[in-house]
């Protein structure tokens, strides 16, 4: 019996999708113990935007360790933190005319979301936070209350309170602007919706099935927030750090969130790191009110700074992401047209895209078969029904094509199988 089966908890998830033992990775590739190579279209669920073991960051990291740089620093001022803050301010915030205070939280996305929700509640004195259908914000209790997925919510063990769900863009069909509904209930003192502290939103819902809000909807959402004096929190943990084409996923919409959460690819090297950005007037924290032992992952500060300095000092990288994003979108649309017959649709923005399958069974068959052909790709969405393309942003054109070719071949196979009586298909799949 393998050690994983013997003593690792049943809570494992990705490990079930990719049953092998990985031990090396570089760029867009991973290798298992047997030396089999896999093309990585999961990229640490959006944590490896710059690829595995990016050589530019690795060199800086090795040098920092060799020189006995601080590894753990609580929240103390360190050279690595100073240099990260300088790079972030000079190359990310200032050029975009953004003025925000940076809060270092515990190094997970969910902890940044907890902090963001606390700030909004403490500043406004209101408890309620508006969240959206299919939103995913993490699984610690406060953030879980903002998460839609019942599989995650059901594990809470206590009631999840302090949030109110509203329909996300497209939830009620293409021609309904759900911000009008939000405006309506907030304008009506008998709507039964408590006046909220904030709205928390993903511009593209990652775990919720690659639902991309339209630029128009995001603008309208900000307008409604401003009208009702509600803070706008953008959870940019997965969509940010370049995934949609710009550093922040909301740049295209030209909106100005009051609070922003970042994590996943922020550290750049897959090292745990999370921050909350807040407008200066919201920074009413008392010392240590939201603390955490691991708010000073200095190794992540080193690689995060390298990521900013190598990729975000001009718009070259952004153009590259948009070019590749267009390629992905063209390919997915042609796959959908070729094999879809109304069953598949393509969706997403930038290099954050997916194919919406009829159901989770088909999406699962596609990802399982892709794995056998050397491609790591996962599903997301309420019924795991969306095949999610999340390759490193730095992937070569050749390997991007290769990965999508594999998915196309697999879809061709799965579609051919679909014409066999259903029982056989389920038998194949199990
Ligand atoms: C992944 C994710 C989180 C949670 O981050 P963890 O590091 O898993 O806690 C929160 N919000 C969004 C949008 C995410 O994609």
Decide if pLDDT at 159 tops 90: yes
- With pLDDT > 70 as the criterion, what percentage of the chain qualifies? 97
* 109 Cα–ligand 1 center, Å: 4
User: How much is the pLDDT for 418?
Assistant: 63
Query: What number of other Cβ atoms are within 10 A of residue 202's Cβ?
Result: 27
Q: Whose CA is nearest to atom 15 of ligand 1?
A: 238
Per-residue confidence (pLDDT) for residue 415, from 0 to 100: 83
Q: What digits encode the pLDDT tens for the residues 97-120?
A: 999 999 999 999 999 999 999 999
pLDDT tens for 127-138 read: 999 999 999 999
Residue range(s) of every CATH 3.40.640.10 domain in the chain: 57-311
- Closest atom of ligand 1 to CA, residue 108: 7
* Protein residues whose CB sits closer than 6 Å to any atom of ligand 1: 108-110, 113, 136-138, 202, 206-207, 235, 237-238, 263
Q: How far is the CA of 182 from the centre of ligand 1 (A)?
A: 25
Q: Band of the pLDDT at 419, cuts 50, 70, 90?
A: low
- Give pLDDT tens digits for 318-336: 999 999 999 999 999 999 9
- Determine contact, residues 128/194, Cβ cutoff 8 Å: yes
From 14, 152, 238, 272, mutation site for ligand 1 pocket: most ligand atoms within 8 A of C-beta:
238
Point out the least confidently predicted range of 97-106, 147-156, 382-391, 412-421: 412-421
Cα gap 333→327, rounded to integer Å: 10
Q: Quick one: fold of 57-311?
A: 3.40.640
Atom 11 of ligand 1, residue of closest alpha carbon = 137
Which ligand 1 atom is at minimum distance from the Cα of 139? Answer: 9
Q: Which ligand 1 atom sits nearest the alpha carbon of residue 239?
A: 13
Q: Which of 137, 142, 265, 354 has most ligand 1 atoms within 8 Å of CB, for mutation?
A: 137
- Distance (angstroms) between ligand 1 centre and the Cα of 138 equals 5
- Which atom of ligand 1 is closest in space to residue 111's alpha carbon? 9
pLDDT band at 343 (very low <50, low <70, confident <90, very high): confident
Please give the angle made by the CA atoms of 136, 140 and 145, to the nearest 5 degrees: 55
Atom 10 of ligand 1: nearest residue by CA position: 137
**Ligand 1 mean position to 237 CA, how many Å?**
6
Q: Ligand 1, residue 235: give the atom nearest the CA.
A: 13
Q: Is the pTM of this model over 0.85?
A: yes
Q: What is the mean pLDDT of residues 385-398?
A: 98
- Residue 111 Cα, ligand 1 centroid: separation in angstroms? 9
What is the residue-averaged pLDDT of the chain? 95
Cα 428 to middle of ligand 1, angstroms: 33
Q: What is the CATH number of domain 2-54+315-429?
A: 3.90.1150.10
The proportion of the chain whose per-residue pLDDT surpasses 90, expressed as a percent, equals 94
pLDDT band at 421 (very low <50, low <70, confident <90, very high): very low
Ligand 1 centroid from CA 137, angstroms = 5
The minimum-distance atom of ligand 1 relative to the CA of 205 is: 13
CA–centroid distance, residue 274 to ligand 1 (Å): 10
Which residue did the predictor score with more confidence, 200 or 174?
200
* Span from the CA of 189 to the centroid of ligand 1 (angstroms): 34
* 264 C-alpha to ligand 1 centroid (Å): 7
Q: Which atom of ligand 1 has the smallest separation from the CA of 238?
A: 15
Nearest-atom number in ligand 1 for the CA of 202 is: 13
* pLDDT for position 89: 98
Q: Which atom of ligand 1 is nearest to the CA of 138?
A: 4
Q: 96 CA distance to ligand 1 centroid (A)?
A: 24
Region 1-30: mean pLDDT is: 95
Query: Ligand 1: distance of its center to the CA of 323 in Å?
Result: 26
**pLDDT value of residue 326:** 98
Model pLDDT for residues 215-270, shown as the tens digit of each residue: 999 999 999 999 999 999 999 999 999 999 999 999 999 999 999 999 999 999 99
Can you tell me the mean pLDDT for 294-298? 97
Average pLDDT over residues 264-285: 98
């Amino acid at each position: 019996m393998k050690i994983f089966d013997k003593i690792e908890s049943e809570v494992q998830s990705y490990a079930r999708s990719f049953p092998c033992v990985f031990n090396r990775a570089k760029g867009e590739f991973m290798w298992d113990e047997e030396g089999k190579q896999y093309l990585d279209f999961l990229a640490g669920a959006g944590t490896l935007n710059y690829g595995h073991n990016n050589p530019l960051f690795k060199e800086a990291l090795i040098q920092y360790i060799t020189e006995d740089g601080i590894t753990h620093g609580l929240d103390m001022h360190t050279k690595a933190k100073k240099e990260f803050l300088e790079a972030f301010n000079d190359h990310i915030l200032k050029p975009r005319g953004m003025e925000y205070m940076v809060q270092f939280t515990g190094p997970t996305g969910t902890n940044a979301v907890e902090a963001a929700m606390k700030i909004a509640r403490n500043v406004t004195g209101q408890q309620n936070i508006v969240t959206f259908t299919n939103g995913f914000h993490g699984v610690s209790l406060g953030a879980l209350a903002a998460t839609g997925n019942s599989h995650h919510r059901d594990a809470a063990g206590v009631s999840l309170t302090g949030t109110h769900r509203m329909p996300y863009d497209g939830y009620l069909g293409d021609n309904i602007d759900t911000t009008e509904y939000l405006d309506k209930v907030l304008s009506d003192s008998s709507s039964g919706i408590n006046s909220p502290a904030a709205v928390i939103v993903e511009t593209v819902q990652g775990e919720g099935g690659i639902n991309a809000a339209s630029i128009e909807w995001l603008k309208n959402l900000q307008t409604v927030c401003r009208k009702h004096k509600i803070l706008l929190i953008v959870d940019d943990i997965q969509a940010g750090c370049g995934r949609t084409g710009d550093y922040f996923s909301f740049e295209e919409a030209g909106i100005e969130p009051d609070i922003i959460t970042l994590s996943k690819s922020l550290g750049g090297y897959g090292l745990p790191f999370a921050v909350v950005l807040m407008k200066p007037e919201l920074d009413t924290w008392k010392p240590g009110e939201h603390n955490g032992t691991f708010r000073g992952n200095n190794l992540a500060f080193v690689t995060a700074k390298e990521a900013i300095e190598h990729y975000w000092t001009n718009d070259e990288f952004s153009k590259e992401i948009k070019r590749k994003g267009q390629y992905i979108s063209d390919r997915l649309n042609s796959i959908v047209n070729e094999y879809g017959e109304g069953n598949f649709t393509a969706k997403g923005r930038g290099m954050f895209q997916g194919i919406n399958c009829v159901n989770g069974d088909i999406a699962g068959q596609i990802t399982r078969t892709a794995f056998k052909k050397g491609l790591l790709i996962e599903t997301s969405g309420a019924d795991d029904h969306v095949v999610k393309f999340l390759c490193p942003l730095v992937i070569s054109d050749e390997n991007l094509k290769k990965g999508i070719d594999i998915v196309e071949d697999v879809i061709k196979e799965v579609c051919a199988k679909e014409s066999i009586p259903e029982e056989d298909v389920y038998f194949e799949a199990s």
